[in-house]
């Protein structure tokens, strides 16, 4: 009996294992839900309100976006726009994302041969890899035939996206120049006004003001120590160097030769600035351990008085929390973005802009109907197409905009007021699908009015008191960094050196800043510089300079 | 042949259970080994394993010649060494202590409590460590309140504390689960020996030294051999989650280096080469330790 029962159990185990080895479908990361409805095919062949001729057969665009994201949130945020496009354009746009490293995912797709028709957010190196293996198609003939808007929008820059054989392998995403700041210094408005709004021009002025703020508020409401400055994992050292006149971490001479900040006196001064604050006990001791959420918690609890980082950091961690949590909240209890420039620096170069775009959208060799796909992508590059995909579903009560047809549109006043009032519900507005299907549209100012942009909340700078203040304070700190773009692909001999130096710099900067005496700081900084040069930093500088000069020639043609 | 057939017929239940496992190991562990060939090529994903450019030992040389090689190996041996030094005796001591508990309910409760950390992910453990050891953490608060220090110590920000923090959290996490094997070994010791020891008046410590430890010597040596064989596996998740730029000099180990400079940069061949090197060294260490154990303790696993 025992033998029989144990034999049966063993056999069941074996069968169970074999059943588990079946090649089932991979469990879904959520793509856009909803089966295509038949309503999309109605009135096929006729132009819709956007001038788009609805195809008789539904255009299915099934794309993977190579960004790490939450599939459930994406599914929730894309359903309305998906349905709108299906019903009004007869285009079934489906987006797939995974909450995993996109590079690994793409490599897995390449190795397994399982990938969709369209892939968005592919970087230069990956495009080259897929092109070499003939997994993506040449888009030139399709763009030549159906891409009028694409060519018009990209203008002279279009030819810069072609390879040495004049072929186009990917359409850029997020291209264009948005003249708004990304990276600034931040000062707390109410405390600054209490102090009499002293002059802040240099980093030393800034630190002086922060010191006074800490002296006036040495602990927060919970009795915890307050610090002048901190850091988080989203702050980029190269942007900080902009305060000392270095562009994207490099000093440039009149002949466009580039020198890394480690090999400059400005770099030493920048690191010294932070070290001084650390030695004064006013730098958060956990600054280089902080993830963004850790920093945000401290900032929201008023434990950090200043910030040098992305403009939205202090909005997100400051007044957007305080207006809901502080009982007698006043409007000035917020941070204002300012520029600071070291004495002797030509300018503060805080916000580099790469107008070429973030990455690319490609069509793979599995695309069954590339003509139809390109036609739709071409539409999305038009100003009205960019508005639709940038701002989401129009003409509904909670929409961000209204569209009347014949290129006539307007903003939804209620939503606009909410944005200007600071009561805008970002979470809810995400569900309108704005910028959720970012395939090829740009982020710069739209050509038809030279004013509006795909980023909804950047459209009212002149009417938003605080945004206007930010733009006015930092307008000279934004610069075009397109020419300095370098692709570190797998077969680039400098890729490894670049990564080693980046890691060394990140670790070494942290160690130098947290030295307890100035002599130790200088010695650590010099050691860091020598190690980096030994690793090949000066060769890297030469390589970057050569690439930069080449790009300048191309862009100036 | 007939003997084999008869034997298989007699042991058929065991074979029915074992064959799927054997097949599974062959298919998922042995068959994919041919992929190791990419360690000797410049492999590009999407291509066949046999189509890449042959580079021989170039990736191995690159690893050995990398500027961080010394630091990485030092950290790897230090972290693994500490884990072995403290991580091997700790579950043994816990098992011996648990074995002495007479109250069964309390013993079960304590045992269960000791397992729980094993099931907590490193992400959660990292959060706990930040809460406890951060500059505003509980430990600093206690030290300041009791007057031991005036300013908080950045335990997670200074490299010199990193190895201790990692070893302590590793031991805390694994001690309960790893004590199970010792407990089951202790349970198999002949009760008559223990009774005889009591009669001889050797006391508790004597019982441990003369009866328990010799009785579970095989298990101890087995785990020691396996532990030493894995000396190049110093962890990965812990270093990524708990490490920071200020502790990188002490937290960078082989696996984190390979992840950064292999997988993330797309140098799969390099990652494969280093992992192959680790596997070969581990096998050699296991064989070597096994021979030593056989020679000196008359115990072996092979």
Is residue B121 within 8 angstroms of chain A, CB to CB? no
State how far the Cα of A501 lies from the Cα of A492, in Å rounded to an integer: 15
B156 interfacial to chain A (CB closer than 8 Å) = yes
CA–CA separation, B176 and B120 (whole Å):
12
Contact B44 A129 (CB under 8 A): yes
Report the side by side order of strands in the sheet with A91-98.
A91-98, A59-68, A118-122, A359-363, A171-173
Residue B135 contacts A, CB cutoff 8 Å = yes
CA–CA dist A425, A447 (Å, integer): 29
CB contact under 8 A, A534 and B244: no
Chain A within 8 Å of B16 (Cβ-Cβ)? yes
Measuring CA to CA, how many Å separate B231 from each of A23, B92, B276?
36, 19, 14
The 10s digit of each residue's pLDDT in A79-110 is: 999 999 999 999 999 999 999 889 889 988 98
What is d(CA A316, CA A370) in angstroms, rounded to the nearest whole number?
41
Got the DSSP string for A477-546? GEEE-GGG-----TT-TTHHHHHHHHHHHHHHHHHHHT-SSHHHHHHHHHHHHHHHHHHTHHHHHHHHHH
- Backbone φ and ψ for B106, nearest 5 degrees, come out as -65, -35
Instruction: Report the gap between the CA of A121 and the closest CA in chain B (Å).
Output: 17
pLDDT at residue number A40: 54
Find chain A residues with C-beta within 8 A of B16's C-beta. Answer: 7, 10-11, 14
Average pLDDT over residues A235-250: 96
Q: What pLDDT, in 10s, does the model give residues A258-285?
A: 999 999 999 999 999 999 999 999 999 9
Percent of chain A at pLDDT above 70? Answer: 94
Please, what CATH class does the domain formed by A183-349+486-556 belong to?
A: alpha beta
Which residue does chain B place closest to A223, by CA atoms? B136
Q: Does B77 touch chain A (CB under 8 A)?
A: no
The fraction of chain A above a pLDDT of 90, given in percent, is 80
Which residues, listed in sequence order, are joined to residue A252 by a DSSP beta bridge? A258
Give yes or no for residue A181 having a pLDDT over 70: yes
pLDDT at residue B229 in the model: 86
Alpha helices by DSSP H, listed for A235-369, are 237-241, 265-279, 292-300, 311-314, 320-325
Shortest Cα distance, chain B CAs vs residue A147, angstroms: 31
Q: How far apart are the first and last CA of chain B?
A: 26
Nearest to A3 among B13, B134, B135 (CB): B13
Q: Chain A within 8 Å of B127 (Cβ-Cβ)?
A: no
B260 CB within 8 Å of a chain A CB: yes
Q: For residue B81, how many other CB atoms are within 10 A of its CB?
A: 15
Return the number of other C-beta atoms located less than 10 Å from residue B88's C-beta: 17
Min distance A247 CA to chain B CA atoms (Å): 23
Considering CB atoms only, which of A490, A503, A514 is closest to B246?
A: A514
Q: CA A464, A468, A469: angle at the middle one, nearest 5?
A: 120
* Cβ within 8 Å, pair A510-B246: yes
Three-class SS state of A3:
helix
- pLDDT tens string B27-63: 999 999 999 999 999 888 878 888 888 999 999 999 9
Distance CA A125, CA A146 (A): 27
Q: What residues does B54 pair with on adjacent strands?
A: B41
Q: How far is B85 from chain A (nearest CA, A)?
A: 28
Phi, psi of B265 (to 5 degrees): -90, -5
Q: CB distance A107–B268 less than 8 Å? A: yes
- Tell me the domain boundaries of chain A: 38-178+357-430, 183-349+486-556
- Give per-residue pLDDT as tens, A186-216: 999 999 999 999 999 999 999 999 999 999 9
Cα A358 from Cα A352, distance rounded (Å)? 13
The shortest CB-CB distance from B265 to any of A224, A495, A509 is to A495
Query: Rounded to the nearest 5°, which phi and psi values hold at B242?
Result: -95, -25
Residue B124 CA, distance from chain mean position: 19
Helix, strand or coil, per DSSP, at residue A290: coil
Q: Can you give the pLDDT at residue B224?
A: 87
CA B210 to mean position of chain CA atoms: 28
Q: What are phi and psi of A229, to 5 degrees?
A: -140, 160
Q: Where are the beta strands (DSSP E) in A87-169?
A: 91-98, 118-122
Instruction: State the pLDDT at residue A28.
Output: 39
Q: What is the pLDDT of residue A27?
A: 40
CB contact under 8 A, A103 and B268: no
Q: In a mutagenesis test of the A interface, which of B12, B15, B16 is the best target, namely the one with the most A β-carbons within 10 Å?
A: B16
Residue A50 pLDDT level (bands cut at 50, 70, 90): very high
**Which of these ranges, A41-45, A145-149, A532-536, has the smallest mean pLDDT?**
A41-45
- CB-CB: which of A101, A135, A495 is closest to B46? A135
In chain A, count of helices (H) and strands (E)?
21, 14
Q: Is any Cβ of chain A less than 8 angstroms from the Cβ of B17?
A: yes
What is the distance between the alpha carbons of residues A486 and B107, in angstroms, rounded to a whole number?
63
Q: Which two tokens stand for residue A453?
A: 């942009």
Q: What is the pLDDT of residues B191-242, one digit of tens each?
A: 888 888 888 888 888 989 999 999 999 899 888 888 888 899 999 999 999 9
Residue B150 pLDDT > 60, yes or no?
Answer: yes
* Whole-angstrom distance, CA of residue A137 vs CA of residue A147: 15
* Closest Cβ–Cβ partner in B24, B244, B265 for A289: B244
DSSP line for B43-88: --TTS-TTSSEE-TTHHHHHHHHSTTHHHHHHHHHHHHHHHHHHHT
Report in angstroms the alpha-carbon separations of A368 from A140, A331, A346, B191: 17, 55, 54, 75
Chain centre to alpha carbon of residue A504: 24
Q: Is residue A376 within 8 Å of residue A91, measured between CB atoms?
A: yes
| Residue A310, beta-bridge partner list | A183
What is the spatial distance between Cα A299 and Cα A290, in angstroms, rounded to a whole number?
11
B44 CB neighbours in chain A (<8 A) are: 129, 132-133, 490
Task: Measure in Å the smallest separation between the Cα of B130 and chain A Cα atoms.
Answer: 9
β-pair type (A401-405, A250-252): unpaired
Architecture in CATH of A38-178+357-430: 3-Layer(aba) Sandwich (3.40)
Of A33 and A57, the one with more pLDDT: A57
Q: Would you state the pLDDT for residue A557?
A: 63
Contact: A286, B156; criterion CB under 8 Å: yes
pLDDT at A20: 61
Q: What is the pLDDT of residues A340-372, one digit of tens each?
A: 999 999 999 999 999 999 999 999 999 999 999
Whether B265 sits inside 8 A of A490 (CB atoms) is yes
Say yes or no for a CB contact (<8 Å) between A288 and B13: no
Residue B16 and residue A14: Cβ atoms within 8 Å?
A: yes
Chain B contacts of A281, Cβ < 8 Å? 151
Q: What is the DSSP string of A305-328?
A: --EEEEHHHHIIIIIHHHHHH-TT
- Are B20 and A17 within 8 A, CB to CB? yes
Q: What is the DSSP string of B115-144?
A: HGGGGS-HHHHHHHHHHHHSTTSHHHHHHH
Whether the per-residue pLDDT at A44 is higher than 80: the answer is: no
CB A307 within 8 A of CB A335: yes
Concatenating the DSSP letter of every residue in A148-191 gives HHHHHHHGGGGGGGB-TTS-B--EEES-S---S-SEEEEEEHHH
SS3 assignment for A41-87? HCCCCCECCCCCECCCCCEEEEEEEEEECCHHHHHHHHHHHHHHHHH
Among chain B residues, the shortest Cα distance to A494 is held by B265
Distance, in Å, from the CA atom of A466 to the CA atom of A385, rounded to the nearest integer, reads 29
Cβ contact A507–B246 (<8 Å):
yes
Q: Do A285 and B46 touch (CB under 8 A)?
A: no
Q: Residue B38's closest CA among B265, B273, B266, B254?
A: B273
Give the closest of A101, A110, A531 to B45, CB-based. A110
Number of inter-chain CB pairs under 8 A, A vs B: 102
Confidence (pLDDT) at A17: 66
Query: What are the chain A neighbours of B19 within 8 Å (beta carbons)?
Result: 14
Q: In angstroms, what separates the C-alpha of B240 from chain A's closest C-alpha?
A: 12
Q: Can A38-178+357-430 and A183-349+486-556 be said to share one CATH topology?
A: yes
Contact status of B145 with chain A (Cβ, < 8 Å): no
- Distance (Å, whole) CA A552 – CA B50: 41
User: A536 pLDDT exceeds 70?
Assistant: yes
Angle of the A370-381 helix axis to the A383-391 helix axis, nearest 10? 90
- Report chain B residues whose CB lies below 8 A from the CB of A284: 135
Cα A364 to Cα A135: distance, rounded to the nearest angstrom: 6
The C-alpha of B231 sits at a distance from chain A's nearest C-alpha, in angstroms, of 26
Task: Give the three-class secondary structure for A94.
Answer: strand
pLDDT exceeds 60 at position A34:
no
Could you tell me the domains of chain B? Answer: 69-120+161-297 (1.10.3720.10)
Of A44, A148, A48, A178, the residue nearest A379 (C-alpha): A148
Q: Is the dihedral of CA B158, B162, B164, B166 positive or negative?
A: positive
Q: What gap in Å lies between CA A531 and CA A526, rounded to an integer?
A: 9
Chain B positions in Cβ-Cβ contact with residue A514 (cut-off 8 Å): 154, 157, 246
pLDDT at A148 over 60: yes
State the best of A274, A286, A499 to mutate against chain B, taking most chain B CBs within 10 Å.
A286
**Tokens for A299?**
């900032």
d(CA B121, CA B61): 35
The Cα–Cα gap between B1 and A266 comes to 83
Confidence class of residue B8 from pLDDT cuts 50, 70 and 90? confident
Element (H, E) at A405: strand A401-405
Under an 8 A CB cutoff, do A534 and B67 touch? yes
Taking residues A225-235, what's their average pLDDT? 94
Nearest to A208 by CA among A192, A232, A230: A192
Cβ neighbours for A384, distance < 8 A, ≥ 6 positions apart: A50, A51, A403, A407, A409
In the structure, what pLDDT confidence band is assigned to residue A5 with cuts at 50, 70 and 90?
confident
Are the beta carbons of B261 and A499 separated by less than 8 Å?
yes
Residue B274 CA to residue B260 CA, distance in Å, equals: 13
What's the confidence (pLDDT) of residue A114?
94
Task: Report DSSP letters for A440-481, one per residue.
Answer: S---S--TTTSS--SSGGGS-TTT-HHHHHHHHHHGGGEEE-
Instruction: Give the residue from chain A lying closest to B242, CA to CA.
Output: A289
Residue B159: closest C-alpha in chain A: A511
Put simply, the answer to whether B264 touches A101 (Cβ < 8 Å) is yes
């Amino acid at each position: 009996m025992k033998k029989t029962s144990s034999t049966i159990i063993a056999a069941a185990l074996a069968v169970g294992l074999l059943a588990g080895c079946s090649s089932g479908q991979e469990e879904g990361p959520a793509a856009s839900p909803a089966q295509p409805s038949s309503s999309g095919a109605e009135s096929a062949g006729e132009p819709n309100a956007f001038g788009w001729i609805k195809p008789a057969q539904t255009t299915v665009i099934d794309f993977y976006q190579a960004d790490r994201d939450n599939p459930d949130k994406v599914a929730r945020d894309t359903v309305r726009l998906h349905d709108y496009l299906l019903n009004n354009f007869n285009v079934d746009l489906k987006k797939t994302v995974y909450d995993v490293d996109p590079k690994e995912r793409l490599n897995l797709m390449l190795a397994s041969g399982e990938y969709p028709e369209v892939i968005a957010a592919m970087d230069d190196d990956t495009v080259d890899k897929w092109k070499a293996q003939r997994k993506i198609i040449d888009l030139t003939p399709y763009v030549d035939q159906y891409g009028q808007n694409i060519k018009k929008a990209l203008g002279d820059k279009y030819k810069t996206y072609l390879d040495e054989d004049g072929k186009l392998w990917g359409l850029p995403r997020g291209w264009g120049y948005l003249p708004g700041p990304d990276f600034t210094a931040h000062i707390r408005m109410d405390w600054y006004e209490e102090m009499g709004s002293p002059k802040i021009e240099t980093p030393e002025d800034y630190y002086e003001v922060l010191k006074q703020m800490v002296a006036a508020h040495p602990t927060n409401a919970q009795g915890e120590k307050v610090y002048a400055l901190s850091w988080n994992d989203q702050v980029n050292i190269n942007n900080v160097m902009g305060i000392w006149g270095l562009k994207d971490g490099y000093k440039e001479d009149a002949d466009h030769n580039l020198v890394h900040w480690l090999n400059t006196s400005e770099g030493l001064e920048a690191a010294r600035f932070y070290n001084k604050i650390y030695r004064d006990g006013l730098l958060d001791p956990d600054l280089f351990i902080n993830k963004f959420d850790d920093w945000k918690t401290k900032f929201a609890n008023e434990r950090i008085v200043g910030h040098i980082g992305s403009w939205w950091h202090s909005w997100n961690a400051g007044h957007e929390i305080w207006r809901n949590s502080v009982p007698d909240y006043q409007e000035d209890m917020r941070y204002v973005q300012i520029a600071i420039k070291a004495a002797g620096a030509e300018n503060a170069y805080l916000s580099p802009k790469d107008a070429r775009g973030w990455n690319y959208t490609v069509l793979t060799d599995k695309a069954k109907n590339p003509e139809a796909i390109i036609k739709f992508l071409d539409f999305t590059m038009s100003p009205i197409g960019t508005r639709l995909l940038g701002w989401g579903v129009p003409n509904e009560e909670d929409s961000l905009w209204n569209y009347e047809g014949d290129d006539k549109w307007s903003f939804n006043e209620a939503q606009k007021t909410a944005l200007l009032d600071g009561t805008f519900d970002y979470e809810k507005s995400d569900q309108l699908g704005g910028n959720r299907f970012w395939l090829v549209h740009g982020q710069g100012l739209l050509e038809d009015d030279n004013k509006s942009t795909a980023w909804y909340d950047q459209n009212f700078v002149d009417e938003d008191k605080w945004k206007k203040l930010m733009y006015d304070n930092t307008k000279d700190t934004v610069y075009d960094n397109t020419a300095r773009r370098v692709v570190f692909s797998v077969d680039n001999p400098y890729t490894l050196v670049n990564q080693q130096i980046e890691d060394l710099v990140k670790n070494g900067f942290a160690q130098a800043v947290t030295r307890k005496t100035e002599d130790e700081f200088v010695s650590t900084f010099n050691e860091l510089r020598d190690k980096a040069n030994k690793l090949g930093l000066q060769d890297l500088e030469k390589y970057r300079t050569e690439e930069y000069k080449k790009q300048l020639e191309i862009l100036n043609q | 042949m007939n003997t084999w057939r008869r034997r298989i017929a007699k042991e058929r239940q065991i074979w029915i259970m074992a064959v799927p496992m054997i097949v599974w190991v062959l298919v998922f562990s042995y068959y994919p080994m041919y992929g190791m060939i990419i360690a000797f090529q410049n492999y590009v994903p999407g291509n066949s394993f046999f189509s890449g450019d042959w580079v021989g030992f170039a990736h191995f040389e690159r690893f050995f010649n990398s500027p961080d090689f010394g630091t990485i190996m030092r950290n790897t041996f230090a972290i693994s060494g500490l884990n072995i030094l403290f991580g091997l005796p700790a579950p043994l001591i816990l098992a011996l202590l648990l074995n002495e508990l007479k109250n069964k309910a309390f013993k079960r409760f304590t045992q269960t409590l000791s397992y729980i950390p094993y099931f907590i992910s490193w992400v959660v453990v990292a959060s706990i460590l930040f809460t406890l050891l951060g500059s505003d953490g509980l430990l600093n608060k206690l030290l300041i309140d009791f007057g031991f220090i005036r300013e908080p110590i950045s335990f997670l920000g200074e490299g010199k504390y990193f190895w201790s923090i990692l070893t302590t959290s590793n031991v805390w996490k694994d001690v309960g689960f790893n004590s199970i094997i010792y407990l089951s070994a202790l349970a198999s010791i002949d009760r008559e020996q223990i009774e005889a020891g009591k009669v001889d008046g050797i006391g508790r410590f004597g019982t441990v030294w003369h009866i328990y430890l010799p009785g579970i010597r095989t298990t101890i040596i087995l785990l020691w051999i396996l532990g030493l064989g894995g000396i190049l596996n110093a962890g990965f998740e812990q270093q990524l989650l708990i490490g920071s730029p200020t502790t990188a000099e002490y937290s960078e180990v082989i696996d984190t280096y390979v992840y950064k400079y292999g997988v993330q940069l797309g140098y799969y061949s390099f990652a494969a080469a280093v992992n192959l090197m680790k596997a070969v060294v581990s096998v050699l260490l296991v064989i070597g330790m096994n021979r030593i154990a056989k020679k000196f303790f008359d115990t072996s696993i092979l």
